[in-house]
Structure 1
Amino acid sequence: MTPRTTKPRGEVTRGTTAPNRLRRVDRWIAATQTGPLRTGARPLVVDLGYGASPVTTVELYTRLRRVSPHVDVTGIEIEPARVAAGLAFLEAAPGRYDGLSFLHGGFELPVDRPPVLVRAFNVLRQYDEAAAWRAWDELGARLAPGGVLVEGTCDEIGRRAVWVALREGRPRTITFAAHVPSLERPSDLAERLPKTLIHRNVPGERVHALLTDFDRCWATAAPYSVFGPRVRWIEAVRLLARTHPVLTSPPYGGRARWRLGEVTLPWHTVAPAA
């Protein structure tokens, strides 16, 4: 473990969490990031800012072990009481979660080796845009070669989420995910945009144009509702792909992913205009 010379970097979050809140991003990671997750003998994944309960870190560990049986997962929290809760969970199940650990820390990531993946969810919402960009840079610099940072936000029960995947210090993709039966229109996901975009959902910005077009495609696909909301979503994404560079091939795209209420696009599709 890296010796602690300064206090953890970052701010304490509200800590709100719940079982299955992050299932959408977890299944996306498990499906699309198998390369990094299978790098080396014991690849390390960090769950940064997991909140008041260790439940979502435990779920991440369980889901990733299905695709990478030797992956290690470390939950990192800046609030000591939350770390204590994670350690108490492990003590109550001795030997059951080999490779799962909890540490006190922040953006400095006090782990013994560079992680192949960092999941930072609902962490940067309280920062201003400049600080969020700096956090992207700082976390990206601590990744193993070829590693990925997955940063995003979701609602309290995980029905709406948006996340960005960053590699080599640059945002590469953005993913929109929703519980489609409860979605009125795709632009409702705007409230879950990452900090770097949430204030840019205005005319003249790419993200606004994308969501406006997605709403138009959703309206055009309304007749498909008779076959269910997921079929309507798939048709709306197919229409959106006519005018935007939607990723349409596995592992990021295609009908199998779209039926889950997902759509992934290259970052440049939504990158700030200035």
Structure 2
Amino acid sequence: MRSRRPVGEITRGTTGHNRLRRSDRWITAVHGPLLRSAGRPLVVDLGYGASHTTTLELFLRLRRVCPGAEVVGIEIDPARVAAAKPYETEGLTFRLGGFELPVDRPPLLVRAFNVLRQYGEAQAWDYWDLLRSRLAPGGVVVEGTCSEVGHRAAWAGLDASGPRTLTLSARFGAFERPSDLAERLPKTLIHRNVPGEPVHAFLRDFDRAWAVSAPLAPHGARQRWIAAVEALAAAWPVHRRPPLGGRGRWRLGEVTVAWDAVAPARGE
């Protein structure tokens, strides 16, 4: 039975054109086959903010790889829903709601960006569980945060069994060292970036690999990043093959590592 009151709290609503382009690119590459495997795949964009923009961009990008995809943007602020309604089109709708996901059938994919930052770590774990419980069989959640213009981002990939991956993504030139992306870690990890925690060790080793790869800097940050990820993969379970890894993804400023390797050391 659906809750009459949306679950969650109103966020700042900051958004902008192409702010989530990095995650959209990853979603279409990694989960395009999953979406195409369904007849009418439903995708939810949870907490799209003060503008419909990023939901519309997600819809257009998904339609390129899966013409049958349907997208529902969900916001907890009635005024934001009202402002987005004029932009509805076939396959794209907006409605009032929260983490309970008030949709007519279980979604195959849920994207939730910059939604959980205002909550506590324990609440973030609880909302992860709630979102996972709403998924269609085989479905996934992509939850993360990004900078104001989207040049630094991090997100977790989850399925019904729990978190599976952590992805870091950055525009070359938007950071001095990989650990600068720590400020964008998902809420379940951001406070764990301290000595003794796996995610701290991962970022420390990434910085070291970045430093060791400095001789490649004259060839560009892209070549240095690829070399650093290759070095990092020697000690960490970094995905090396498509769709999650390999040079094709690394050259975009991405790296994806198995969640179990960076999960909190002291439990949830």
TM-score range, shorter chain: over 0.9
CA RMSD of aligned residues (A): 1.0
- Residue 168 (structure 1) shift: 1.1
Counterpart mapping for 1:184-195 below 5 A:
184-195=176-187
- Structure 1 equivalent of residue 209 of structure 2: 217
Provide the rounded CA distance (Å) in 2 between the counterparts of 1:242 and 1:25.
Answer: 25
What number of residue pairs does the alignment pair up?
266
Q: Secondary structure of 1:11's partner?
A: coil
Residue 102 (structure 1) aligns with:
94
Alignment of 1:83-94 (within 5 A): 83-90=81-88
Task: Please say if residues 181 and 230 of structure 1, whose CA atoms lie closer than 8 Å, have aligned partners that are also in contact.
Answer: no
- Give unmatched runs, 5+ long, in structure 1: 91-96
TM-score by length of 1: 0.95
The 5 A counterparts of 1:146-157 are 146-157=138-149
How many angstroms apart in 2 are the aligned matches of 1:28 and 1:253? Answer: 10
Shift of 1:4: 5.7
Q: How far has the Cα of 1:34 moved from its partner?
A: 2.0
The corresponding residue for 1:79 is 77
- Contact 2:2–2:100 under 8 Å retained in 1: no
- List aligned pairs for 1:176-215, cutoff 5 A: 176-215=168-207
Cα offset, 1:212, TM superposition: 0.2
* Structure 2 residue runs without a partner (length 5+): none
Secondary structure of 1:69's aligned partner: coil
Match of 2:243 among 239, 251, 270: 251
1:6, distance to aligned residue in structure 2 (A): 1.4
Decide whether aligned partners of structure 1 residues 72 and 205 sit closer, same or farther in structure 2, where only a CA change above 3 A counts: same
Query: Which of residues 115, 124, 136 in structure 1 aligns to 2:128?
Result: 136
Identify the residue that residue 232 of structure 1 maps to in structure 2.
Answer: 224
Encode CA deviations 1:52-84: one digit per residue, 9 max, x unaligned.
000000000000111110000000000011101
- The CA distance in 2 between the partners of 1:228 and 1:35, in whole Å, is 32
- Write out the 4+ residue segments of structure 1 that deviate beyond 2 Å after TM superposition: none
Residues 1:230 and 1:267: Cα distance change in structure 2 (over 3 Å): same
- Say which SS state the counterpart of residue 74 (structure 1) adopts: strand
- Whole-Å separation in 2 of the counterparts to 1:46 and 1:131: 20
Partner of 1:94: none
Q: Separation in 2 of the partners of 1:4 and 1:133?
A: 21
C-alpha contact (below 8 Å) 2:152/2:174 kept by paired residues? no
